[in-house]
Amino acid sequence: MSIEMKGHRNLLVIGILTFCTIAGWAGKKPQSADMQTFSGEIMDTLCAANGSHQQMMQQMKSMGSDKATCIKQCLLLGAKYAVYDDAKHTFYRIDDQSKDKVEPLAGQRVKITGTLDKKTIKVSDIKPE
């Protein structure tokens, strides 16, 4: 076999290996697509940004004096359901805003199983703690 043929064969092998490596990377799921468990309190995004309902309820008497009422009022103002993780001092939006799934748990501590996409949890399961 000539040197030129060996060179082409080596380039072909390198090309195939490179393609397989890139194809393997492309086929992997991103880390955020992995199932995770989140714990925290069901809140609204307005109060979750402060980590508490207290400030909202003190500033605006129409927000009520309990968590569930405050959440309902904030939702009327355009907020969305979220889960506040007090250990990490952060919150995640909940993708499924359906009232039958999240509303009964408003103000309660929950465990959510789902996938995280940026700051939004795609909920697979949600249960009270």
Each residue's pLDDT expressed in tens, for the chain with a length of 129 residues: 555 555 556 555 565 655 555 655 555 444 445 899 999 999 999 999 999 999 989 988 889 889 999 999 999 999 999 999 999 999 999 998 987 889 999 999 999 999 999 999 999 999 999
Q: End-to-end alpha-carbon separation of the chain, Å? A: 71
Q: Give residues with Cβ within 8 angstroms of 124, minimum separation 6.
A: 35, 113, 114, 115
Q: What's the token pair of residue 56? A: 């909202």
- Domain match, 39 and 80 both: yes
Are residue 65 and residue 16 in the same domain, yes or no?
Answer: no
- Co-location of 38 and 25 in the same domain: no
How many Å apart are CA 7 and CA 4, to the nearest integer? 5
Answer yes or no: do 43 and 20 share one domain. no
- Please tell me whether residues 1 and 57 are part of one structural domain: no
Residues 93 and 43 in one domain: yes
Domain housing 43:
34-128
pTM above 0.85, yes or no: no
Distance from the Cα of residue 106 to its chain's centroid:
18
Are 24 and 57 within one domain?
no
> 94, 102 in Cβ contact below 8 A?
yes
